[in-house]
Amino acid sequence: MEFLQTISELGVENLNIIFPLVAVLTRVSVFAFLLPGLGETAISVRIRLLIALMITFLVAPLVGLTSVVGWTLSDLALLIAMEAFYGFVLGFGLRVMVFALQIAGAVISQSLSLTQVFGGGMTSEPNTSVGTILMMGGVTLLVTLDLHMRAIGLLIGTYETFPLLQLDGTHTSMVSRPDIEEITYWVVQKSISVFNFAVALALPFLVLNFIYNLILGFVNKAMPQLMVSFVGMPFITGVGIVLLALSIAGILTAWLGAYNGLMADML
Torsion sign across C-alpha atoms 45, 47, 48, 52: positive
Q: What is the pLDDT of residue 239?
A: 85
Q: What is the pLDDT of residue 34?
A: 87
Q: What is the pLDDT of residue 221?
A: 74
Q: What percent of the chain has pLDDT over 90?
A: 6
Find, among 175, 164, 137, 114, the residue nearest to 254 by Cα.
137
**pTM of model > 0.85:** no
Q: pLDDT per residue over 144-196, tens digit each?
A: 888 878 888 888 888 887 777 765 555 444 545 667 788 888 888 888 898 99
Domain spans in the chain, listed from the N-terminal domain onward: 2-266
State how far the Cα of 252 lies from the Cα of 263, in Å rounded to an integer: 16
Q: What is the pLDDT of residue 66?
A: 67
- Tell me the average pLDDT across 245-262: 90
Asked if 90 and 59 touch (Cβ cutoff 8 Å), the reply is: no
- Tell me the average pLDDT across 206-217: 84
- Tell me the average pLDDT across 124-140: 81
Lowest-pLDDT range of 102-106, 237-241, 263-267? 263-267
Which has the higher per-residue pLDDT, 103 or 167? Answer: 103
Q: pLDDT per residue over 22-40, tens digit each?
A: 888 888 899 888 888 887 7
